Amino acid sequence: MKNKEKDLLDSFTKKMVKDLPIEKPSNIFSKKVMNVISNLETVKSTFVYEPLISKRTWFLIISSLIVSMVLLLKTKPIKMPNFISKIDTSGISIPFSFDVSLSFTASNITLYGFLFLAIMAFIQFNYIRNYNNNYS
Amino acid sequence: MANNDDVYYIKKTLDGDSASFGFLVDKYQNMVFTLAIKMLKHREDSEEVSQDAFIKAYKSLSRFNGESKFSTWLYWITYNSCLDRIKTNSKFINDVELNEVTSNEVLQASTVFDSLEHKERSEIIQECMNKLPEDERVIIHLFYFEELSLKEIIEVVSISEGNLKVKLYRARKKLFCIFKKSVEPEIYNSYEK
C-alpha cells in the first residue's frame, strides 16, 4: 500500500473512531467497587496474621541446629583446604570453649550433608517468601 | 510518570485510607469500562471485568512503582482481565477477511461516512469495531480513541514495537473493509448520483 493510501486510511480511521461515544458503566458501579474494597478491609482487619512457625519455634530450631553443628565439628574436624590452614589465627582468641567429650563420631559426609541442608533451607525460605510476596 | 493527583490518592490509599481509592475509581471508571466493552462487547461482562480490574489494582497497589502512568497500569490490568475472560469464553472470538484498499475507495467511504446521521454513524462504527478481532480492536481504541502513544500501548498489550505497528496497520485496513461492506448500498447510491 502506498503512503497516500496509508495516510488516508489513518485519517479516516481517526475520524471514525473519534465519533464513538464514551461508554459508561451503571450509576452504582463505583459504589459496588468500593463496597467490595471495604469488605476486603473488614476481612483483613478481623484476620490477624500469624506465621506458621512462631518466633519461639524458630529460636529452638536455630539453637538446636547451632548446637548440633558445634558438637559435630568437635567430634571430627573437617580437613580445611590448604589456603585456609595457612591463615595465621594465633592472634585470635575465643573467649569461650566447647570442651565437651562426646561418645560418638560423625563422618565428613554427615558434616557436609548438614552444611548443604542449611544452605538449601536458607535459599528455599527466601525463594518461597519472595514468591509468596509477589503472588499472594 | 504518574499524575500528581493520582500519586496523592495512591499514597493515601497505601497509608490505610481505602476511601481515597474511590477517587481513582470515579476518575477511571469510564476509561476502564470503555476498554472492557471494546474487548468483550457485552455490558454485563464488561462491568464485571472492570470491577475485577479495580479490585486487582487495589490489592496490588503497593507494586505500582510510578514509572508509568497510573492509567497505563490500570489499562494493563484491564486488558489482561479481559483476555482471561475471553480465554474462558469462545463467544468473543472474531475474524475478518482482509482485502487490498485503494485511495479512491477510502475517499468514497469517507464521503458516505460524512453523509450519515450522527446516531446512525455511531451505531455503524460500533458494529464495525465489534467485528474486529479483540486484540486489533483494543489497539485501534487505545491509539485513536484514547490517543495513547505507541510506547504506552506496548506497556499495556506487551508486544514488540514492530509487531504493534503491523497489527495497527492490519487493524486499520480490516476496519475499513468492514465499514465498506456495511455501507455498500450507500456507496452504490453515491455512484448513481
User: For position A8, what pLDDT does the model report?
Assistant: 85
Considering the domain architecture, whether residues B149 and B179 belong to the same structural domain is answered as yes
Residue B44 lies inside a defined structural domain of this protein: yes
CATH code of the domain covering residue B70:
1.10.1740.10
Residue A69 lies inside a defined structural domain of this protein: yes
Residue A129 lies inside a defined structural domain of this protein: yes
**Least confident stretch, A24-33, A50-59, A71-80, B38-47:** A71-80
C-alpha cell at position A90: 594465633
CATH code of the domain covering residue B130:
1.20.140.160
pLDDT range class, residue B166, cuts 50, 70, 90? very high
Q: In this model, does residue A23 exceed pLDDT 80? A: yes
Interchain CB distance below 8 Å, B118 and A2: no
Q: What is the mean pLDDT of chain A?
A: 76
Q: In this model, does residue B178 exceed pLDDT 70? A: yes
Interchain CB distance below 8 Å, B51 and A4: no
Q: In this model, does residue A1 exceed pLDDT 80? A: no
Task: Check residues B29 and B91 and name the one with the higher pLDDT.
Answer: B29
Considering the domain architecture, whether residues B141 and B83 belong to the same structural domain is answered as no
Q: How far apart are CA B39 and CA B164, in angstroms?
A: 17
User: For position A84, what pLDDT does the model report?
Assistant: 59
For chain B, the domain total comes to 2
Residue B97 lies inside a defined structural domain of this protein: no
Q: How far apart are CA B117 and CA B129, in angstroms?
A: 18
Summarize pLDDT for B37-86 with one digit per residue, the tens: 888 888 888 999 999 999 999 998 888 888 888 999 999 999 999 988 88
**Who among B18, B46, B51 is closest to A32 (CB)?**
B51
Domain boundary among B48, B67, B92: B92
Considering the domain architecture, whether residues B58 and B131 belong to the same structural domain is answered as no
Considering the domain architecture, whether residues B63 and B112 belong to the same structural domain is answered as no
User: For position B164, what pLDDT does the model report?
Assistant: 93
Domain boundary among B31, B65, B92: B92
3-class DSSP assignment, residue A80: coil
Considering the domain architecture, whether residues B11 and B79 belong to the same structural domain is answered as yes
Task: Check residues A39 and A72 and name the one with the higher pLDDT.
Answer: A39
Residue B42 lies inside a defined structural domain of this protein: yes
Residue B98 lies inside a defined structural domain of this protein: no
**Least confident stretch, A48-62, B70-84, B152-166:** A48-62
Considering the domain architecture, whether residues B112 and B77 belong to the same structural domain is answered as no
Considering the domain architecture, whether residues B75 and B112 belong to the same structural domain is answered as no
Residue A48 lies inside a defined structural domain of this protein: yes
**Who among A24, A36, A37 is closest to B30 (CB)?**
A24
Instruction: Give the number of C-alpha atoms closer than 13 A to the C-alpha of residue B126, restricted to the C-beta side.
Output: 16
- Share above pLDDT 90 across residues of chain B, in percent, rounded to a whole number: 33
In terms of residue numbers, what domain contains B46?
A: 4-92
Q: In this model, does residue A86 exceed pLDDT 70? A: no
Q: How far apart are CA B75 and CA B73, in angstroms?
A: 5
In terms of residue numbers, what domain contains A125?
A: 3-86+96-135
For chain A, the domain total comes to 1
Interchain CB distance below 8 Å, A17 and B126: no
Considering the domain architecture, whether residues B39 and B81 belong to the same structural domain is answered as yes
Q: In this model, does residue A97 exceed pLDDT 60? A: no
Summarize pLDDT for B79-122 with one digit per residue, the tens: 999 988 888 776 555 555 556 667 777 777 777 777 777 777 88
Considering the domain architecture, whether residues B87 and B110 belong to the same structural domain is answered as no
Asked if B129 and B38 count as a contact pair (C-beta separation under 8 A), the reply is: yes
Q: How far apart are CA A101 and CA B147, in angstroms?
A: 79
Considering the domain architecture, whether residues B111 and B157 belong to the same structural domain is answered as yes
Residue B70 lies inside a defined structural domain of this protein: yes
- Share above pLDDT 90 across residues of chain A, in percent, rounded to a whole number: 4
User: For position B5, what pLDDT does the model report?
Assistant: 81
Contacts of A8 in chain B (CB under 8 A): 103, 106-107, 110
